[in-house]
Structure 1
């Protein structure tokens, strides 16, 4: 499998220095993590699965204290054995309260079961810690600035404890004490005395309900309008904020900076991937500012996600990216709590996983293996994807995930399992190919292509005829197929042209397809198909015949709905207010994009003038005879999107028979290191230019 990959700098260390090992042994870590997982599930059940039939505020606060004690034991902020015992004591308090009300709600019984499981794991942890000699607490290293890759910061602080939100019981109604009963009168004198007593017990007229509303309101007097303040002055100055509010405001600014960069760092078509370096430095500088502020900033980060009105995916990326750069199990757990409270939103989970692929946290493998045991399939899929992406997943873990009944989990695992040899891979592929889930079938096709499966060509050719997944199968056939597969793909593409097949023709690199693609530009057909043919020609010939084209408005953004007519005059636009009517501003310039020309005459002239010496039976890429070195150059400096760069990575795996860990999601410096590692491998595999040869790389 791929090498273990943690792209970070340890606290106070030099670039590339690995993280210092923890003073607690792995078995104690595992038992504490199991207790933490059980206690976390109990807390989530208390939040979401239990009706407020009784006051749950006390148990919620006790659960928070138990989680804090576990984090103290994890990170050594207190004596570990004493912290474990404190956690068990708090669990006993919760268990007593939950057990007394278990008959009122079935959800409380499940909470009690999880509490017993957590306590059992803590008892094992206590026994294990008793055999480990205590280690003195280490002084935190100095906080150093990050440089082109994230640095793991160690900030002295109390443990970050999640706030467990349970519904508070309704307040008891305030009922006035009833007056003493009056004896039943038997004579007129007693009746008169009873009436006088009732009058004395009756409330005053102003205290009766509705009496306050019945009172006349005081006359309203209009105060004279204050004169406008002179320019440069403010009539009312707000109250000064305290130091904590200032630090939290600065933390919010840095947090939003990380969220913004996380959404924008992927380059667009035509932008070199190295241009993202300046954005990555902005993101790392914002995280460094949070580290410099210290505990007040770090404690405020989980609140920025918990108190957000909408669980936006950018918040998931920012929270995991920031918290994953701070040492301590509690910091990473805060991001996990945001994940498990996200109502299982796929975009939220994916963005949090995207951040976990980059963070430098030393306990990330432990946390991810805990998430592999979660019942939600999307969470398990994210966990195995990040573990394999980081090179931390074992073959047994990948095989177990690829055998998962949930299609998202199996699909993610198959993609990674195919990058290394495995005896179980053919069996798993056979099972996935017959699955009903399209994503799992596509993962099986990808695994067949990457592992040089003997039936890959037959399966991919058959999938071309299907209505679902045919375009993905065409691209995989173009990347991993031989010359016969390329001819079959070209024939199918021009029998019934569609965008996916035409794009795959460009990836085949067949020189014989160039005249056919030019003929396709001359037809009166779909503009999108013509543009796809132009991109395919550019991929084969490298003609660089780009032109600027205006993008239509409806392709940029959806028009805003009109404002409702409420009877008020409509506000004029700013240009109408400040511009001279004799010289109004010009219409905004159209949005321009660069794309290859669709002029068939220009392409035919280029073909006749520049490509006469080409071998029509050979394969070309960007105007050069095809070799893995040409593919690597395209990966390094080509005008391609991140998705295309992932396909180029697969192409290198297929055509060299080797694997180097690379993904365009990585930091720029990490991508450059991977490209440098690919260089000698691609050079050795480039002995037959222009051919479809590939080494034997069997699954087992």
Structure 2
């Protein structure tokens, strides 16, 4: 079963209702998008690639007007034909200014070519729109609050034209012409004439700087009593009152930071049920609803919060795309795209923005992502094809084209999604990826082989498991997709040379025969990480539930802040020490505790002897139950696992059922619950042989 959807609620509609299609002609839509892409590249070139040999402010302002007019035509905020003509006029103005200075800077020639391309696309859009009768503008529906899913809001406003920041030209040095030199006097008469000439050249007395600053009107008198310091935690100067616009912008910043915070915290930790993220998701959606309620002043301020940030913070990238993607209009989504393209090659920033695009409800998201597929930066193209496939919007031809891309990041993202669908063209793409030097691309090829039941998957994964690079990833895939012989081979290799990754893979095999050697491994004096991996493997096989709280050392939580430099001044006391009674100071912070499976071999041996005597040592178990897809689904639904482990469980369901249901722990909670419900009957039909390594045929090619 496969399904694709945009997880959103349309403006003014009921949950699950798709948004109404726009009245813009499809060919005109494509022409406008092509013109938009060309103008956006020209703007980025003016910002980053052109030396300021001349004043670029005029072309920059003209490009801003052109982009704003294109958004008016996209979204119907003005007469579309008139808006396209206004955009063309602005492009002509920018092209004239760029053409005059093209001989001074080579980069301006490329900008001029982009402007000519945009002008040609605008002519096509104008011809297409002129043949279509104009549509009357529709009143935006009332804003309704979101709940559990993001709602697409329609806010009446002017188009969000970007602010293009071009470098300033070098200032012209204004140097006064020096007066002619005075000849060296040889007589008293010449000396007297030289003195008179110097007096005439000297500035007037009023032009000299003041010798001292003026005394303030309200200067303190010597007999005034000293000012009393404010109590700790209070300030004497509360500042001036702010106007309404500043207040709305401050409230927008608070909501924006709320979305950024939730974007970092919504992924559950080990032991936290994924449904607990519902509270955080509702907080995030409520913050976006506040931005919608404020309206145009808030939405116009959101792009500034990213552009004016001192660093490229991935949380800000997530927040900007998440907020702007919940508002109808090509201009809102374009503002997030521009922040992405301005980020350069910052991988974390690109991934943060892509994480939000996987969730936003914007109806023009496929159009924007397909435009990003034509960008020269591989990381941007990789993010675009990943989001398209994640949302179920990518066609097989698009995935094959991306998997054939020379850039390894793009091909790696596409291969995984092709493996989920078992494309007929997948085997040749896998063969090409296996010969690549990029480790991420090779790992993507292994994953696609495992998911598609490639006939050489076992051989390739066994060989890759022995390699020093990527061996642990190959071992885990072999445990998920292999048969009983693969499980025995993996267990044997793990105990020949125990290491953390191999022992974790042993837990995924579920081989009951591996339990006694794992317990013996805990009794040895060895690496703590190896023993902990063995304990996790035992927990995954037996489901014993023998967890214990362990204090985590500080350096394992966060890197300590560097100490403040010693400048000879006394250290400032903390506020709690200033205002608290010495007899009632706050206690020292408690150590950070985490729950981990016990590494006590005696407890594990006692559990094995008492609870597992009836086990079949030749069978496969998961969490104390004979292995079946239903057990895997239960672990995905309510197991004590991390988001990364839940992604492995999703792959395991694809392998062991031969079916596919779109699921990812990054989705909203309600979307995950829908996917789990869709998996339930499929897993039940595939659970006829519990405790075995059987799998249906799902071979590509």
Fold match (TM-score > 0.5) = yes
Q: 1:184 to 1:227 in 2, by over 3 A?
A: closer
Equivalence map 1:355-394=2 (5 Å): 355-394=356-395
Residues 381 and 504 of structure 1: is their aligned pair in 2 closer, same or farther, counting only changes over 3 Å?
same
- TM-score scaled by structure 1? 0.94
Describe the shift of the 1:416–1:223 C-alpha distance in structure 2 as closer, same or farther (beyond 3 A). farther
* Structure 1: runs of 5+ lacking an equivalent: none
CA contact (8 A) 1:546 1:596 kept: yes
State the distance in 1 between where 2:463 and 2:488 align. 15
Change in Cα spacing, 1:218 to 1:194, as seen in structure 2 (3 Å) is: farther
Closer, same or farther: CA 486–141 of 1 in aligned 2, 3 Å: same
C-alpha displacement at 1:44, in angstroms?
0.2
CA displacement at 1:210 relative to structure 2:
11
Q: Distance in 1 between matches of 2:380 and 2:593?
A: 40
Report Cα offsets for 1:602-661 as digits up to 9, x if no partner: 111111111111111111111111110000000000000000000000000000000000
- Which range moved further: 154-163 or 608-617? 608-617
Say how many residue pairs are matched.
700
Question: Residue 549 of structure 2 contacts residue 594 of structure 2 at CA under 8 Å; is this kept in 1?
Answer: yes
Question: Partners in 2 of 1:545 and 1:255 — Cα distance?
Answer: 42
Quote the residue 2:154 is aligned against: 154
Q: Per the alignment, in what secondary structure is the counterpart of residue 214 of structure 1?
A: coil
Please give the per-residue CA displacement for 1:563-621, whole angstroms capped at 9, x wherever unaligned.
Answer: 32222223345565566666766543222111111111111111111111111111111
1:505–1:536 contact (8 Å) kept in structure 2: yes
CA contact 1:423–1:699 (8 Å) conserved in 2: yes
Counterpart check, 1:37 vs 2:42: no
CA distance in 2, matches of 1:563, 1:331: 42
Q: 1:98 to 1:580 in 2, by over 3 A?
A: closer
The alignment partner of 2:234 has SS state of coil
Note closer, same or farther for the CA distance 1:527–1:208 as it changes in structure 2 (3 Å cut).
same
CA positional deviation for 1:231: 11
Q: CA deviation at 1:3?
A: 2.7
CA distance in 2 between partners of 1:194 and 1:584 (Å): 79
Where 2:515 maps in the other structure, the secondary structure is helix
Three-state SS of the structure 1 residue aligned to 2:582 is coil
Deviations for 1:389-411, whole angstroms, at most 9, x for unmatched residues?
00000000000000000000000
Q: Residues 209 and 618 of structure 1: is their aligned pair in 2 closer, same or farther, counting only changes over 3 Å?
A: same
When structure 1 is superposed on structure 2, of 545-554 and 676-685 the one drifting more is: 545-554
Question: What's 2:238 paired with?
Answer: 237
Alignment deviations for residues 302-358 of structure 1 (CA, whole Å, 9 cap, x no partner): 000011111211000000000000000000000011101112200000000000000
SS of the equivalent of 2:184 reads coil
Are the equivalent residues in 2 in contact too, given 1:206–1:212 (CA < 8 A)? no
Question: Does structure 2 retain, via aligned residues, the 8 Å contact 1:155–1:295?
Answer: yes
Q: What are the Cα deviations for residues 94-123 of structure 1, in whole angstroms up to 9, with x where unaligned?
A: 111111111111100110011111111111
Structure-2 separation of matches of 1:236 and 1:579: 24
Whole-angstrom distance in 1 between the partners of 2:516 and 2:134:
76
Quote the offset at 1:240 in angstroms.
1.6
Structure 2 vs 1, CA of residues 487 and 299 (structure 1 numbering), >3 Å: closer, same or farther?
Answer: same
Residue of structure 2 equivalent to 1:82? 82
What's the offset of the Cα at 1:30? Answer: 1.1
The question of whether the paired residues in 1 share the 8 Å contact of 2:4 and 2:662 is answered with: no
Looking at structure 2, the residues matched to 691 and 233 of structure 1 have their Cα atoms a distance apart, in angstroms, of 68
Structure 1 residue 27: Cα displacement: 1.6
Distance 1:183 1:609 in 2: 114
Tell me the distance in 2 between the aligned counterparts of 1:178 and 1:600: 92
- Give unpaired runs (5+ residues) of structure 2: none
Q: CA deviation at 1:175?
A: 5.3
Contact 1:205 1:211 in 2 (8 A): no
> Does the Cα contact within 8 Å between 2:233 and 2:575 map onto a contact in 1?
no
Moved more, 617-626 or 202-211: 202-211
Q: What aligned pairs does 1:531-610 form with structure 2 within 5 A after superposition?
A: 531-573=532-574, 577=578, 586-610=587-611
1:680 corresponds in structure 2 to 681
State how far apart, in whole Å, the 2-side matches of 1:601 and 1:139 are. 72
How far, CA to CA, are the matches of 1:49 and 1:190 in structure 2? 60
Question: Which has the higher mean CA deviation after the structures are superposed, 486-495 or 191-200?
Answer: 191-200
The aligned counterpart of 1:520 is 521
**Deviation for aligned residue 1:554:** 2.2
1:239 positional shift: 2.1
- Which one is further off, 155-164 or 598-607? 598-607
Match of 1:211 in 2: 211
Structure-2 separation of matches of 1:444 and 1:581? 64
Hey, what's the Cα distance between the residues in 2 that align with 1:553 and 1:183?
Answer: 78
- Confirm or deny: 8 A CA contact 1:153 1:291 kept in the other structure: yes
Q: Report how far residue 204 of structure 1 moved.
A: 2.2
Conservation of the 8 A alpha-carbon contact between 1:38 and 1:115: yes
Deviation at 1:421, TM superposition (A): 2.8
Structure 2 equivalent of residue 460 of structure 1 = 461
Q: Distance in 1 between matches of 2:191 and 2:563?
A: 73
Return closer, same or farther for 1:189/1:235 CA change in 2, 3 Å cut-off. closer
Change (3 A) 1:358 1:209: same
Which of 388-397 and 588-597 deviates more?
A: 588-597
Q: What is the TM-score of this pair, normalised by structure 2? A: 0.94
SS class of match (2:42): helix
Could you say if the C-alpha distance between residues 188 and 234 of structure 1 is closer, same or farther in structure 2, counting changes exceeding 3 Å? closer
Residue 432 of structure 1 deviates from its aligned partner by: 0.3
**Structure 2 Cα separation of the partners of residues 654 and 567 of structure 1:** 66
State the Cα distance separating 1:141 from its structure 2 match. Answer: 0.5
Deviations 1:164-190 (A, max 9, x none): 001223444455688999999999999
Report the Cα offset of residue 562 of structure 1.
2.9
Q: Contact 2:232–2:575 at 8 Å: present in 1 too?
A: no
CA distance in 1, matches of 2:329, 2:148: 23
Q: Report deviation, 1:423.
A: 1.7
Q: Distance in 2 between matches of 1:232 and 1:620?
A: 59
Is residue 511–residue 617 contact of structure 1 (8 Å, CA) maintained in 2?
yes
Contact 1:66/1:90 (<8 A) preserved: yes
Residues 164 and 613 of structure 1: is their aligned pair in 2 closer, same or farther, counting only changes over 3 Å? Answer: same
Could you tell me whether the CA contact under 8 Å between 1:629 and 1:686 is conserved in 2?
Answer: yes
d(CA) in 1 for partners of 2:629 and 2:152? Answer: 36
Q: Against the structure 1 CA distance between its residues 96 and 603, is the aligned structure 2 distance closer, same or farther, given a 3 Å change threshold? A: same
**For the residues of structure 1 that align with 2:188 and 2:553, how far apart are their CA atoms?**
96
Is residue 448 from structure 1 mapped to residue 478 from structure 2 by the alignment?
Answer: no
